[in-house]
Structure 1
Amino acid sequence: MYRKAVCFLYSFLLIAILASGCADQSTKKTSTEQNQDDRLHLAFVVNLPDPFWNYARAGCYKAEQDFNVKCDFKIPFDGSSTEQNRILETLIQQDIVKGIAVSPLDPKNQTEILNEVAAKVKLVCHDSDAPDSNRLFYLGTNNYSGGRQVGQLIKEALPDGGQIMIYVGKMDVLNAQQRREGVIDELKEGVSASATKPSGLPRTAIMAGKYIILDTRTDQGDRATAKKNAENTLKKYPDIDAMVGLWAYNVPQCLEALKDVGMEGQVRLISFDEDELTLQGIKDGYVHGTVVQQPYEFGYQSVKYLKALVGGDTSMIPENKQLDIPTKVIKKNNVEEFWAHLKALQQLGEEAKKSSN
């Protein structure tokens, strides 16, 4: 009887200890979850699905780790301002997000919703600006200057001039307008304007010194349409000298269209952004060069500054409300080094993501 009582008491104590341990672990887990929930909650909203934004996402992950915040990364699935507006409305209705960075798709027609957001949370623009809204400042590329760099690459590729077609997703977006303007101004610089257009040019053609910009083709963010635009160009203007893409996926689609008809290397390609197909095209000698942004910094700096703004610090806001992140020109002589740098940034983001989980 005594032995049974001892065994019973031992079993009871063991169960109690295990239960206590489980309760302690549960308490710790709840405490950890609570700490996660207590972090400052921010959001980073892009314009459309594109691999370009993977680098910005990596920057957000690293900033989450460095500044102990939570940042929701939001992508309009169809690349429309309607879907982007829905995302913004949902974020401010949740009443937990305190700061938002957004790349506006249609700034002129989004002023009302952007001002509504700015009235409730700290709002900044990245990648593309909405200067007529109440956003606190714009963080990103000087797109006009970037466009001029594209123009310089065109001059290198075609020193004697030639016929050019420009491709971009949407002309409603300010970054597209500014890049195109920069290209045209750079090609016109130092050259007197032609009095008349040569016969046979489309009505949309622009004379820019020694260069003829046949048109600007848009695709609304759809890659199939972007490729079709390139295919149609090659059919209508078989002697075209250069194809210029102002959004990340444009030149990769142009290159595919050229490969389909065995013309790769016969038409000069000049790009914007660091799409991997563009970088590979530079290595292969099919793409003359590209002007790249720093999307990793878009993500990292947006999170950094939004946290500061929520805390009452406005010292980072420049007088002109434009916080420029420099571009870089990538050609065959530096593409390998740059590509390795991109992979390192992605690795930083992945490591930060794992540590936060």
Structure 2
Amino acid sequence: MSVTHNLFAPIAAGAIAVGALASPGFASDTKVAMVPGGPHPYFAAWEQAGADAVKDFGLAGADYRVPQKWELSQQNQLLESLLTQGYNSFLIFPGDPVGTNSIVGELTAEGAPVLSLAGCLKQPSEDLFCLGTDTGNSAYLGTQELIKAMGGKGRIAHFTGFLVDPNTQLRIDAVQKAADESNGAVEVVQVIADIDAPEPAEEKINAFLAAQGGEVDGIVTTAWVPAVVAANALRRMGDKRIKMVGIDHDEVVLGAIKDGFVHGTMLQNPYGQGYIGAYAIDKIRGGCTVKADAPFGSTALTDKFIDSGTSFVGPDKVDTYIEAMQAVTKELMSDFDATYLNCAS
């Protein structure tokens, strides 16, 4: 396998065949905008998810629209513009878990329902619910897998995402929790955050490994770009002593797992988030309501949380990871209405 891959080359997990579970009906006037906080490869699967939702559910549109920069003002301006362009529902990754509440209130006041997608708003909020990875649990499980690979002891470095991302602190806390449960056998010796972009990730991860690589036994990465950069760095070093658990499904990470430079990765389900989110918001616009007694989970930000799924993938499952994502999405879709919605018969 070639290892000179594009840094932002996610495998096209969009080809997830869940359409068999869809129930095509009358054409809908739902035109949903899918808007992340800024440019990032994680969200790329939303575009295919939206296209598939249009095809499977008869939506008027489900379009992926990205702010030019990770700035709350830019996301807000884009959302306001999309509303004037006729979009009548929104799937939003919050640019800020508190600050985004203001624009969400404006959108819902105009009759456009909002779901939080892949990251949650701080309650109280006008969003209907949050559909995303239980990022704390994913980071915790990933760190547990790393600790097992390290033989239950050693020193860990944690490379993670933007501090404005509502998921980042949850991940930092979860990695520390897993280490604390070792009763002192495992120590998190370094946390490097704000590096979910190529330039800072390359600079800080490579500098850390050059200076302190010999002093760590494991690496956990809980954001896409740090996972790619760290996997590439370990391959260049030829170092299989340092164990690493990454996140997401970039082909660089998957290739490093196959070749033994990375122990495994924690999958998320961005395609399923976009596909199910578009389905759910169309059902809401069609007259369904969210069940008051729906079995939502709770996070530090919200008590209206639906877990879109996570799974550890090691060398034995790296060739079938898409099937794992398919299974999670199909399971959520199979009983979504009965579990979360009240719909007229």
| Range class of TM-score, shorter chain | 0.7 to 0.9
User: What's the CA shift for 1:119?
Assistant: 2.2
Give the aligned partner of residue 105 of structure 1.
95
Query: Matches of residues 158-197 of structure 1 in structure 2 within 5 Å?
Result: 158-189=150-181, 191=183
Query: Is 1:125 matched with 2:116?
Result: yes
Give the aligned partner of residue 228 of structure 2.
252
Query: Is 1:324 matched with 2:307?
Result: yes
Query: Is 1:53 matched with 2:43?
Result: yes
Give the aligned partner of residue 212 of structure 2.
237
Query: Is 1:289 matched with 2:264?
Result: yes
> Aligned match of 1:90 in 64, 81, 85?
81
User: What's the CA shift for 1:220?
Assistant: 5.0
SS at match of 1:57: helix
Give the aligned partner of residue 276 of structure 1.
251
User: What's the CA shift for 1:129?
Assistant: 0.3
For 1:248 and 1:153, locate their aligned partners in 2 and report how far apart those are by CA, in whole Å: 18
Give the aligned partner of residue 14 of structure 2.
none
Counterpart AA for 2:68: F
For 1:58 and 1:178, locate their aligned partners in 2 and report how far apart those are by CA, in whole Å: 28
Counterpart AA for 1:139: L
Give the aligned partner of residue 80 of structure 1.
71
2:257–2:315: 8 Å Cα contact kept in structure 1? yes
- What per-residue deviation string (whole Å, max 9, x for no partner) do you get for residues 156-193 of structure 1? 121242222211221222212212222211222262xx
The percent identity for this pair of structures is 24
- What per-residue deviation string (whole Å, max 9, x for no partner) do you get for residues 23-60 of structure 1? xxxxxxxxxxxx99x83211111233333323232222
Query: Per residue, is there more helix in 1 or in 2?
Result: 1
User: What's the CA shift for 1:221?
Assistant: 3.3
For 1:341 and 1:327, locate their aligned partners in 2 and report how far apart those are by CA, in whole Å: 9
Give the aligned partner of residue 17 of structure 2.
none
- Normalised TM-score (structure 1): 0.75
For 2:73 and 2:248, locate their aligned partners in 1 and report how far apart those are by CA, in whole Å: 25
Give the aligned partner of residue 333 of structure 1.
316
Note closer, same or farther for the CA distance 1:139–1:308 as it changes in structure 2 (3 Å cut).
Answer: same
Counterpart AA for 2:47: R
> Max radius of gyration: which structure?
1
For 2:67 and 2:233, locate their aligned partners in 1 and report how far apart those are by CA, in whole Å: 27
Counterpart AA for 1:168: T
For 2:291 and 2:264, locate their aligned partners in 1 and report how far apart those are by CA, in whole Å: 33
For 1:220 and 1:110, locate their aligned partners in 2 and report how far apart those are by CA, in whole Å: 22
Give the aligned partner of residue 18 of structure 1.
none
Note closer, same or farther for the CA distance 1:229–1:115 as it changes in structure 2 (3 Å cut).
Answer: same
Give the aligned partner of residue 148 of structure 1.
140
SS at match of 2:89: strand
Give the aligned partner of residue 202 of structure 2.
227
2:95–2:165: 8 Å Cα contact kept in structure 1? yes
1:272–1:291: 8 Å Cα contact kept in structure 2? yes
For 2:315 and 2:80, locate their aligned partners in 1 and report how far apart those are by CA, in whole Å: 44
SS at match of 1:44: strand
For 2:199 and 2:65, locate their aligned partners in 1 and report how far apart those are by CA, in whole Å: 23
> Aligned match of 1:134 in 108, 126, 131?
126
For 1:285 and 1:122, locate their aligned partners in 2 and report how far apart those are by CA, in whole Å: 46
For 1:187 and 1:124, locate their aligned partners in 2 and report how far apart those are by CA, in whole Å: 34
For 1:160 and 1:323, locate their aligned partners in 2 and report how far apart those are by CA, in whole Å: 32
SS at match of 2:253: helix
Counterpart AA for 2:218: A
SS at match of 1:174: coil
Q: CA RMSD in A?
A: 2.5
